Amino acid sequence: MVDRKFFVGGNWKMNGSLSQYKSLINDLNKAQLDPNTEVVIAPPALYLLPAKDLLTENKKFELGAQDAYYKPSGAFTGEISSAQLKDAGIPWVILGHSERRTIFKESDEDVANKTKAALENGLSVILCVGETLDQREKGDSIKVVLGQLEAAASSINDWSKVVIAYEPVWAIGTGKVATAEQAEEVHKAIRDWLVKTVGKEVGEKVCVIYGGSVNGKNAKELASQPDIDGFLVGGASLKPEFVDIVNARL
């Protein structure tokens, strides 16, 4: 088994306040975090620059945006661009999250365009893929996930700057979680697709992380699977147990 670096992202979504974020970030700065785990937190865009000011010199974690539009500038009210994130010194962005796909009706083409723009601007991307409950019950999980991945792949010229997040839609914010075996099955399919399509060296190095009601109690079992390289965490990233998730491999 290739020894890939463990990766944990915290997606804070549209939650919290400035005072809450200051407290959360200060707690992370003080926490004992596994030095072999790469950590990225994604506050709402409004709080990215205040959060950046709170990072300590040893940088136990980095910052990411929750989304970015593919145009560099223009009359796109309410959007931020990858070019602006680069200018602001924000190194990561989450793209293709199921909430963007389902609530805001982003297509595979939209996600591909955003991914291309982010990489062209030197950002690193957490690229999200995942199936709905209906698709899982029809036995189409892997077909759907690999289809979403294939749609974005043509826009990726540097896989070293991409982390793939498998997030079954039916497990996000529901309290349901894929069993370790269910998650590993899809992660292995993603890994096999990467090896076959992109190449063995790249395929074995890309981090494939799991998201979907991950918490301090289930993180260790999930982390023990050979093709689960970390997590993209929602609600639990706003709680003290986020430290336990980061340290799941200790």
d(CA 69, CA 116): 11
Tell me which residues are annotated as active site: 97, 167
d(CA 29, CA 21): 12
d(CA 42, CA 62): 9
pLDDT at 1 (0 to 100): 55
3-class SS of residue 169: helix
In order of their start, the domains of the chain are 6-26+36-234 (3.20.20.70)
Contact between residue 91 and residue 41 where contact means Cβ atoms under 8 Å apart: no
**∠143-93-36 over CA atoms, to 5°?**
90
pLDDT at 50 (0 to 100): 94
Whether the per-residue pLDDT at 248 is higher than 70: the answer is yes
Structure tokens, 150: 């294939």
Q: How many CB atoms sit inside 10 A of residue 95's CB?
A: 28
Contact between residue 169 and residue 163 where contact means Cβ atoms under 8 Å apart: no
How far is CA 103 from its chain centroid? 18
215 vs 3 pLDDT, higher one? 215
Whether the per-residue pLDDT at 26 is higher than 70: the answer is yes
Residues 194-242 have pLDDT tens digits of 999 999 999 999 999 999 889 999 999 999 999 999 999 999 999 999 9
Q: How many CB atoms sit inside 10 A of residue 81's CB?
A: 21
Residues 123-179 have pLDDT tens digits of 999 999 999 888 988 999 999 999 999 999 999 999 999 999 999 988 877 777 788
d(CA 203, CA 240): 33
Q: Calculate the average pLDDT of the chain.
A: 94
